Amino acid sequence: MNNTQPMRALITGITGQDGSYLTELLLEKGYEVHGLVRRSSTFNTDRIDHLYVDPHTPGARLKLHFADLTDASRLVTLIDTIQPHEVYNLAAQSHVRVSFDEPEYTGDTTGLGTIRLLEAIRAAGSDARFYQASSSEMFGATPPPQNEETPFYPRSPYGAAKVYSYWITKNYREAYGVFASNGILFNHESPRRGDTFVTRKITRAVARIAAGQQSELFMGNLDAVRDWGYAPEYVEAMWRMLQHDEPDDFVVATGTSYTVRDFLELSFGHVGLDYRDYVRFDERYLRPTEVDALIGDFGKAQDRLGWTPKVLTPRLAQIMVEADQAALEVEGSRYVDAVQTA
């Protein structure tokens, strides 16, 4: 990078949890950041509003573009006009339970969206480095610990779509020499996590119950084991993958394991409550096929990228509960459990 020509990154999924943290990281590093935003009738840019400045402002380095991963020609135009040095493909229909309700749409975005973007890079003759947001859901039924050599056995339309994207990323690396890397990220959370993922659903409920605004929390399978890390640390690993001397695939995880029940205990315990007094079972939150246990071995990322996790699950639960309590004080009650199956 030099003073006149900043590095340019294109982020799909910039309005999501990871997209927002990655944008902060890249702007801090001096990048010009281009983000792909879906047009919607209400604004969907809450997570990046604090970073946005009017594009007419001299030196503005965050630029947003309307586009969709289902629109191949738009992706070609964007790659061609932006000429990014790095492309981070974070966009996806990312909810596992929802993928059973919307399997075809999930395949179209989470799976085929990746080939559309890779083809756009190829068609534009771009030498951009490419990051694919692969997932520990690809391991599915294969027991832990899981690393880069572990066979995939997806258990949902989402997991199957991510397996397709993983392999097509590898194929473009081998077939066309694209610098294309897969980050196989285990669950990572934050106060910006979507409301219907289990950690955030729990910490929002804890804040509301502690404030006397809610009396019950309906949940599904409490026995599932997950390896929950902290999202701001995980986007650092994404960036490091594209600075590495060669494209490769890396597991990013904490190597620790907790059940959903453990996360309930930690979160309710933080406000001095016993989760058993509030949590009720609702089968609508079960999945037709479940991923029982995910625990990642991040040794390769540690050795080759110098990446290690610092925030582990107990501290993560505390960060999220405190953030939801603070948010509740500011905004009052806006939580509506509208999407009943998520």
Lay out the sheet containing 32-37: strands in order across: 62-66, 32-37, 8-12, 86-89, 129-135, 180-185, 249-252
Q: How far is the C-alpha of 77 from the C-alpha of 86, rounded, in Å?
A: 16
Q: Is 156 a catalytic residue?
A: no
CB of residue 220 to ligand G4F, shortest distance in Å: 3
CB of residue 18 to ligand NAP, shortest distance in Å: 4
Q: Which of 116, 113, 132 is closest to 124 using CA atoms?
A: 116
Catalytic residue among 32, 86, 137, 233: 137
Displacement of CA 45 from its chain's centroid (Å) = 16
Q: How far is the C-alpha of 98 from the C-alpha of 216, rounded, in Å?
A: 23
Indicate which single residue of 19, 140, 247, 309 sits in contact with ligand NAP (rule: CB under 6 A): 19
**Applying CB under 6 A, does 191 fall inside the site for ligand NAP?**
no
The residue (of 130 and 139) whose beta carbon lies closer to ligand G4F is 139
CB of residue 107 to ligand G4F, shortest distance in Å: 14
The residue (of 18 and 86) whose beta carbon lies closer to ligand NAP is 18
Q: Is 174 a catalytic residue?
A: no
CB of residue 70 to ligand NAP, shortest distance in Å: 5
Residue 198 interacts with which of ligand G4F, ligand NAP, none, CB < 5 to 8 Å by class: ligand G4F
The kind and range of the H/E element at 131 are strand 129-135
3-class SS of residue 150: coil
CB of residue 93 to ligand G4F, shortest distance in Å: 9
Q: Which residues touch 199 (CB under 8 Å, ≥6 apart)?
A: 187, 189, 193, 228, 263, 316, 317, 320
Dig out the tokens for 246 from the structure. 């060669």
DSSP state of 119: H
Catalytic residue among 20, 94, 134, 135: 135
Q: Which of 227, 258, 88, 81 is closest to 145 using CA atoms?
A: 227
Residue whose pair of structure tokens reads 């934050």 in the numeric block: 190
Q: Is 24 a catalytic residue?
A: no
Question: Pairing mode, if any, of strands 86-89 and 8-12?
Answer: parallel
CB of residue 274 to ligand G4F, shortest distance in Å: 18
Where do contacts with ligand G4F occur on this chain (CB under 6 A)?
94, 96-97, 135-137, 186-187, 196-198, 201, 219-221, 224, 226, 260, 285, 287, 290, 294, 342
**Binding pattern to ligand NAP, positions 93-132, x when CB under 6 A?**
xx--------------x-----------------------
Residue whose pair of structure tokens reads 């902060």 in the numeric block: 24
Residue 77 interacts with which of ligand NAP, ligand G4F, none, CB < 5 to 8 Å by class: none
Q: How far is the C-alpha of 250 from the C-alpha of 24, rounded, in Å?
A: 22
Residue 126 interacts with which of ligand NAP, ligand G4F, none, CB < 5 to 8 Å by class: none
Q: How far is the C-alpha of 239 from the C-alpha of 226, rounded, in Å?
A: 24
Indicate which single residue of 8, 9, 13, 166 sits in contact with ligand NAP (rule: CB under 6 A): 13
**Applying CB under 6 A, does 296 fall inside the site for ligand NAP?**
no
Question: Pairing mode, if any, of strands 229-230 and 188-189?
Answer: parallel
**Applying CB under 6 A, does 157 fall inside the site for ligand NAP?**
no
**Applying CB under 6 A, does 190 fall inside the site for ligand NAP?**
no
Catalytic residue among 158, 230, 275, 278: 158
Q: How far is the C-alpha of 263 from the C-alpha of 228, rounded, in Å?
A: 10
| Residues that are catalytic | 135, 137, 158
Rule CB under 6 A: which residues touch ligand NAP? Answer: 12-13, 15-19, 36, 38, 44, 68-70, 90-94, 109, 133, 135, 185, 187-188, 194
